[in-house]
Chain A
């Protein structure tokens, strides 16, 4: 079973993602910011990380950088409310960029694609 680490400061989003992804058959662990995500990374050893960008303590961009230092090939999806960071060079290190939406079809497809190829 593939493991996914969901990082988001919004409790309701973490809850929604966890429910949806577990339903898809993934093992899901949540973190509320980048720092907590880094802490949980070595113990949980996820196969994929979903990172919200705007978060307190440590934001998604910083977390992406830190995770890439440790795990070069770990697939990472950046999630944001809108497409405002799409052209931001710092997001290039991620494997995908997903705009948050109530319809999670696109999000789930992206995960499936990334995990399928890795």
Chain B
């Protein structure tokens, strides 16, 4: 039994121990050793509450919370003790429950192998010891809990701070997984969110390879479906051991995602209950934050979408405004392509337009707009960026040059619609757009060829690409159909040859929207143009009809006058000839009568011309030799006074095929043309007569040319030269060329005029070669039969 001094020492050392900072287990061992040493006891133990739970005796003792003093074990009712507890009991022992406030911390047991009586000082001392030990344990517990709470709070604070540091959804999700990973000391983490459109759970962020494990998906699906968190420590033998914590994200009564962490980065690599609770707290805390970020993301996306739509609509409005400024077909086409290529409009580098020709069943290149080279593109873009005003003003102010190389190439393109390999034909036939991107290849972008050998499988690719892309690497282009009222009327092709910007689906969507508007405008312009043309034609037809009626009336009048005049004229001329024969050569009357004869002959010719023009004379088709006819026509004119001084050039081919024709009528034609040529040259110039065979579509023809250097025909009068009674000469009735035209046409031939104003005119007559069986079978009563 310690004396007062010993008691003080013991108490001092125990108080020192209990307040020291050594680990609790060491601390308790040293305290127990000190007590045991001071009391010289045989056993000194500290029974922890979990050990006490197993023993009925100590449990009862603990529940009573009263110390027990057994000085002689014989008095102790051993029946209360179960067999395995027996070895714990010494002949003399004491059990002091450690209770601090209401918290039970265990039992201090001290035992003596010999009988020992506890003095009142000893009892007080042991009770004091009990209080000190209980206090030490309690302090340690509180300290531990405080530390834990602080660490949890720190983790949650970190998490909260992290997720509110950004509104960007992706960053937020990434931070959640990394912070959670750090807090829980996990090896991997996977965050999934529900995709609103497909309602499927999709991985948004993950660290480690755990998401590749099929179990991960299974766990996430289960947690998501059952809305219940899951903690699993699988030490399975077949699979690798796995420790997983997975919690759902909840908001407004529904789950919208899951957060899972895998394998603790510690010796045990297993998560405990505290980790699980921490995850749940985290998941609960961040659910709203994620949902907010999601909402923010969706709202931002929606607002961006709306902003874009508004911009598109306003651009479309501006472009339409520009299109409404005119109904002129060419101008509408120009405006359309300018709108497509202008930066603030649709912003493509180049645009080409093809319109359908329904009659010939082809797509025809109509117009193209775009810079010729990258340098030019740069200049245009730089100058455009300095211009001010609305987009519609800008478009209407610009007028692309009409003679660009691109424009001429495109204008020369004709694609049969049957050529289905061609992207343009397909765009037209299928009425849908195409976005074509040809990958880089050794050959450049010569990747595919259509049947006709065109690169890219399209004629445009062939023409445009080859011509303009000197360093072809990647060529992208898109085509959209041009819709009129309920039908496709053409195709627009666009590309970004110079800045190589990729053509996105949304670009094509916008282009299609505009193409629909432009299509209607173009169709209206076409209708307007057709209307104007028809109106013009109608006007011309009306004029022609009026003219023709006049001609018919004039013809009838002339015909009846011709008949009335002919007989007196024959008498006058006949008697003049008689007189002429009787008058001596040197009499002045000889000249008088000669004048009468010449003038009568001229009048007779005029009357015959009128008659011939107003009556259809049947052609006596015979095989004839044009060389002979031309020679005879020439000799008929060579006696004339103005033939002198005119150089005659004859270029006759050796082999001239015979033709089918009426030599008398043909002679009339050539004689008239030669006569006209001499008249025009007034005694000086060159008359060229050419005669050569030609071949058209496998058939043989003869071409006769009568060319003079008489100054040509005034272009204003050119369209009238084959009209009857049209003349610029004051001594002619103007029937020569109309009759010539009529005769050549009835011979299935063609008469063309190559007029060089100020120089001369070349009449070119083409007549079909002789075909056996086409000779005239009709009998004509001729004077010489």
| A-contact 0/1 string along B771-785, CB 8 Å cutoff | 000000011111111
The answer, among A12, A84, A97, A103, for a CB contact under 8 Å with B571, is: A12
Least Cβ–Cβ distance between A52 and chain B, in angstroms = 9
Assuming the contacts A12-B567, A102-B604, asked whether A82 and B611 have C-beta atoms less than 8 A apart, the reply is yes
Q: Known contacts A16-B575, A102-B600; is A97 also within 8 Å of B782 by CB? A: yes
Residues of A within 8 A of B563 (CB): 54, 81-82
Which A residues lie within 8 Å of B779 (CB)?
92
In the complex, chain A residues whose CB is within 8 Å of the CB of B573: 101-103
Q: How far is the CB of B49 from chain A (nearest CB, A)?
A: 144
For chain A, residues 71 to 118, give those with C-beta under 8 angstroms from any C-beta of chain B.
Answer: 81-84, 86-87, 91-92, 94, 96-104, 106, 110
A84 contacts across to B, CB distance below 8 A: 611, 615
Q: A-facing mask of B565-601, CB < 8 A → 1, else 0?
A: 0111111111111100000000000000000010011
Known: A16-B575, A20-B578, A103-B573. A81 touches B566 (CB 8 A): yes
Q: Find residues 45-78 in chain A having any chain B CB closer than 8 Å to their own CB.
A: 54
Q: Is B695 interfacial (CB-CB < 8 Å)?
A: no
Do A97 and B570 touch (CB < 8 A)?
Answer: no
From A87, A94, A100, A103, B566 is in contact (CB under 8 Å) with A100
**B617 to A83, Cβ gap below 8 A?**
yes
For B568, the chain A residues whose CB sits under 8 A away are 10, 12
* Given A82-B608, A83-B617, A104:B783 Cβ within 8 A: no
Query: Which residue from chain B places its CB closest to the CB of A78 in the assembled complex?
Result: B781
The reply to whether the CB of A36 lies closer than 8 angstroms to some CB of chain B is: no
Minimum C-beta distance from A89 to chain B (A):
9
Q: Compute how far the CA of A89 lies from the CA of B261 in the bound complex, rounded to whole angstroms.
A: 118
| A27 interfacial by beta-carbon distance below 8 Å | no
Q: Decide: B781 and A92 in contact? CB cutoff 8 A.
A: yes
Assess whether B567 is in contact with A100, with CB atoms less than 8 Å apart. Answer: yes
| B571–A16 touching, CB < 8 Å | yes
Could you say which of B566, B574, B577, B597 contacts A82, with CB atoms under 8 Å apart? B566
Also in contact, A10 and B785, with CB within 8 A (given A20-B578, A103-B577, A103-B601): no
Inter-chain contact A10/B567, CB cutoff 8 Å: yes
Within A3-37, the residues touching B (CB, 8 Å) are 10, 12-13, 15-16, 19-20
Of chain B, the residue at the smallest CB distance from A93 is B781
- CA A3 to CA B291, docked complex, whole Å: 133
A104 to B778 Cα, complex, angstroms: 28
| CB-based contact B567/A110 at 8 Å | no
Given contacts A10-B567, A81-B563, contact A102 B781 (CB under 8 A): no
Q: Verify if B313 is at the interface (C-beta below 8 Å from A).
A: no
CB distance from B605 to the nearest CB of A (A): 10
Q: What's the nearest-Cβ distance from chain A to residue B620, in Å?
A: 10
Which B residues are CB-close (under 8 A) to A96? 781, 783, 785
User: Chain B: which residue is nearest A54 at the CB level?
Assistant: B563
Q: Closest chain B residue to A94 by CB distance?
A: B781
- Point out which of B566, B601, B607, B615 has the most chain A C-beta atoms below 10 A from its C-beta: B566
Complex contact B562–A102 (CB within 8 A): no
Q: How far is the CB of B84 from chain A (nearest CB, A)?
A: 152
Q: Which of B366-381 contact A (CB under 8 A)?
A: none
Residue of B nearest to A87 (CB): B618
B782 engages A13 (CB within 8 Å): no
A106 surroundings in chain B (CB, below 8 A): 783
A99 to B570, CA, bound (A): 11
CB distance from A116 to the nearest CB of B (A): 14
In whole angstroms, what is the CA distance A12 to B604 when docked? 17
What residues on B are CB-neighbors of A103 within 8 Å?
573, 577, 601
Determine the residue in chain B with the shortest Cβ distance to A16. B574
CA distance A100 to B784 in the complex (A): 15
Residues from chain B with a CB closer than 8 A to the CB of A19 are: 578
Q: How far is the CB of B418 from chain A (nearest CB, A)?
A: 50
Contact between chains at A87 and B780 (CB < 8 Å): yes
Q: Output the nearest chain B residue to A83 by Cβ-Cβ distance.
A: B617
Q: Chain B contacts of A20 at CB under 8 A? A: 574, 578
- Name the interface residues of B600-655: CB closer than 8 Å to any CB of A: 600-601, 604, 607-608, 611, 615, 617-618
Question: How far does the Cβ of A39 sit from chain B's closest Cβ, in whole Å?
Answer: 23
Question: Which B-chain residue is minimally distant from A15 (CB atoms)?
Answer: B571
- Shortest distance between the CB of A84 and any CB in chain B (Å): 6
* Residue of B571, B600, B604, B617 ringed by the most chain A CB atoms within 10 A: B571
A87 cross-chain contacts in B, Cβ below 8 A: 618, 778, 780
- Can you add 16 more A-B contacts, CB < 8 Å, to A82-B563, A100-B566? A10-B568, A12-B567, A16-B574, A54-B563, A81-B562, A82-B562, A82-B566, A84-B611, A86-B617, A86-B780, A96-B783, A101-B604, A102-B574, A102-B576, A102-B601, A102-B604
**A-to-B contact residues, CB < 8 Å:** 10, 12-13, 15-16, 19-20, 54, 81-84, 86-87, 91-92, 94, 96-104, 106, 110
Can you list 16 A-B contacts (CB < 8 A)?
Answer: A10-B568, A16-B570, A20-B574, A20-B578, A54-B563, A81-B567, A82-B563, A82-B608, A83-B617, A86-B780, A94-B781, A99-B783, A102-B569, A102-B600, A103-B601, A104-B574
